Amino acid sequence: MMAGMTETPHPLYDRHADTLDRALTAITERGYWSAYPESPSPRVYGETAAADGKAAFEAYLGGDFPLDQPGTGDRVATETSPFGVPLDVRYPHAGADELVAAATAALPAWRDAGPRARVGVCLEILDRLHKHIFELANAVQFTSGQAFVMAFQAGGAHALDRALEALAYAYAEMTRHPGTAGWEKAAGKGDPLRMTKTFHVVPRGVSLVIGCNTFPTWNSYPGLFASLVTGNPVIVKPHPRAVLPLAITIRYAREVLAEAGFDPNLVLLAAEAPGEKLASTLALHPAVKIVDFTGSTEYGDWLEANARQAAVYTEKAGLNTVVIDSTDDFAGMCRNLGFTLTLYSGQMCTTSQNILIPAGGIETDQGHKSFDEVAGGIAAAVGKLTADPARGVELTGAVVNDGVLERLDEVTKVGEPVLESRTVEHPAFPGAVVRTPTVVKVGADDTATYGREWFGPISFVIPTDSTAHSLEIMRKTVGEKGALTAGVYSTDEAVLDAAEAAAIEVGVHLSCNLTGGVFVNQSAAFSDFHGSGANPAANAALTDGAYVANRFRIVQSRRHS
């Protein structure tokens, strides 16, 4: 097997070469491009696609998931839907050693196939998953609590885009060097020294992907496909409450691998029994050389400290911050922030938590606004979006787990409520757990409260001495605890420059003056980086060269020629 463009052509590579070429162009130009339409419209996907996908999803419920892989023979069922819909899907169960042994045995042939064959197979997997996007979207919706359109977009189309982005970066890194090179050096009066050198792309070993409950596909696909395309077999350990989306993914991945003549055990599901702690067992296994994780800071820190035999990529918690200095579109600012706080009930790692506003108020296109008027404007925007339950639940979705409810109860004991959370009955799913966002006013000196993450529909409005004080708080909190997003509103270029300097200092991505259809908690594949790897919220970025290049090594051989 040789790296580079000297490989033997592969039919799946040829089939998807145009898609790969466009993705490779997109990651260098950083403009808008998407390979997978984000609208679930029948005009895009066909008249029967939605019904077919829903039927395929429902066929899994209450049964044994159809996955033929090594296992102990017993099954596990651990999912509870935030919408109150019975799931009761039973997944094959296997121990860590059994999974690792199967993955390890599959590695050599996959390694030797070369980058071109691997990327072709991976592109075919994405194409197969795209054909089942409605099936995936339903699985994401009913395990994560996302409303359907969001599940279709974030859990389907955008997740596939992020996977394709990872494939493009990985392919570019693997083919950076030629597969072979002739080497010649003058040797005095004698014949020159001549050698032929061959450069092999060698995977690190077994990869482990630890999934999360809120975005089981979007957060797992980049690591899964970055590892797989670079030659590493992948064991996927889903969150116990969100197994189905990744089980469906693995089902179709294994199907494509087998059709292409490879061992389907290159991709394995690690469904865990309650209390088993399978993720930790696998993460410390000597054969596991790569770990991808999205979730809590506590567990991410544990993985980084203890999985020393592996390259560990983590996305953890952070204190996403917005600095408000002034605005020439007060209504637009409030609408934009209101939507940001409402979308998926704030259960996104990119949702703003701390909103810093000068205590003396701000200048706007509507004249001077006091602190209370600014806070009230944001709260009113949230209230308007959630006032009608039938429309509101299509934005809020459902609460993903009891931890969110506990924090909503806890936050009532701190600060001064600007907007209280409400319980909403979902018109389509009576068993759904729905809570509207709360906005709470706390003092700038109350760092014990706003200096930790409150994951869920909880945000704080914080009066500061000045915009300079706001930026100081942002630097301190984000520098210490990390953040994935930051925002600033100002009509003063000097303030925008100061905010950008602060963001660079603490390594957080910054959005300026968002008042329209782009929101701080959204991230576009091929253009926006998700996470920076430059602050404690994440040690890697989705997706860049550093995210993929450490998943393989170049090993060379030399022969005289």
For the stretch 182-204, pLDDT in tens is: 999 999 888 999 999 999 999 99
Domain range summary for the chain, segments of one domain joined by +:
46-175+204-317+541-560, 321-512
Averaged pLDDT, 491-505: 98
- CA dist 327 and 324 (Å) reads 8
What per-residue confidence (pLDDT) applies to 71? Answer: 81
Residue 60's closest CA among 132, 153, 158?
132
At residue 317 the predicted structure's pLDDT band, cuts being 50, 70 and 90, is confident
Averaged pLDDT, 546-557: 97
What per-residue confidence (pLDDT) applies to 37? Answer: 97
Percent of the chain topping pLDDT 90: 96
Q: How far is CA 475 from CA 197, 202, 250, 321, 454, in A?
A: 50, 41, 41, 10, 19
pLDDT > 60? residue 547: yes
- CA dist 551 and 115 (Å) reads 13
Q: Which residues pair with 206 in a beta bridge?
A: 288
CA angle 181, 183, 185 (to 5 degrees): 170
SS3 content of the chain, % helix, strand, coil (to 5): 45, 20, 40
What per-residue confidence (pLDDT) applies to 2? Answer: 37
Q: Tens of pLDDT along 421-446? A: 999 999 999 999 999 999 999 999 99
List CB contacts of 162: < 8 A, sequence separation 6 or more: 218, 221, 222, 525, 530, 542, 543
Q: CATH code for 46-175+204-317+541-560?
A: 3.40.605.10
Q: Tens of pLDDT along 53-81? A: 999 999 999 999 999 998 878 999 999 99
Q: Tens of pLDDT along 458-472? A: 999 999 999 999 999
Q: Tens of pLDDT along 157-191? A: 999 999 999 999 999 999 998 999 999 999 988 89
Three-state DSSP state, 124: helix
- CA dist 362 and 161 (Å) reads 39
Residue 418's closest CA among 334, 336, 525, 307?
334
pLDDT > 80? residue 27: yes
What per-residue confidence (pLDDT) applies to 7? Answer: 60
- CA dist 96 and 504 (Å) reads 41
What per-residue confidence (pLDDT) applies to 143? Answer: 98
pLDDT > 60? residue 8: yes
Q: Tens of pLDDT along 216-229? A: 999 999 999 999 99
At residue 38 the predicted structure's pLDDT band, cuts being 50, 70 and 90, is very high
Q: How does the average pLDDT of the chain come out, rounded?
A: 96
Judge whether 46-175+204-317+541-560 and 321-512 match in fold: no
pTM of the model: 0.96
Q: Is the dihedral of CA 154, 269, 552, 195 positive or negative?
A: negative
H helices within 71-114, ranges in order? 96-113
Q: Which residues pair with 199 in a beta bridge?
A: 556
CB atoms within 10 A of CB 305: 9
Taking the CA of residue 146 as centre, how many other CA atoms within 13 Å lie in the half-sphere pointing to its CB?
A: 26
pLDDT > 90? residue 99: yes
Q: What is the dihedral of CA 295, 298, 301, 305, to 10 degrees?
A: -130
Tokens found for residue 34: 């998407």
Q: Tens of pLDDT along 349-407? A: 999 999 999 999 999 999 999 999 999 999 999 999 999 999 999 999 999 999 999 99
At residue 4 the predicted structure's pLDDT band, cuts being 50, 70 and 90, is very low
Q: Which residue has the tokens 């996977």?
A: 163
pLDDT > 60? residue 3: no
- CA dist 144 and 240 (Å) reads 11
Percent of the chain topping pLDDT 70: 98
Quick one: CATH architecture of 321-512? 3-Layer(aba) Sandwich (3.40)
At residue 1 the predicted structure's pLDDT band, cuts being 50, 70 and 90, is very low
Residue 347 contacts residue 456 (beta carbons within 8 Å): yes
- CA dist 541 and 526 (Å) reads 12
Three state DSSP letters for 67-80: CCCCCCCCEECCCC
Residue 436's closest CA among 385, 472, 485?
385
Q: How far is CA 506 from CA 318, 319, 448, 480, 500, in A?
A: 12, 12, 20, 9, 10
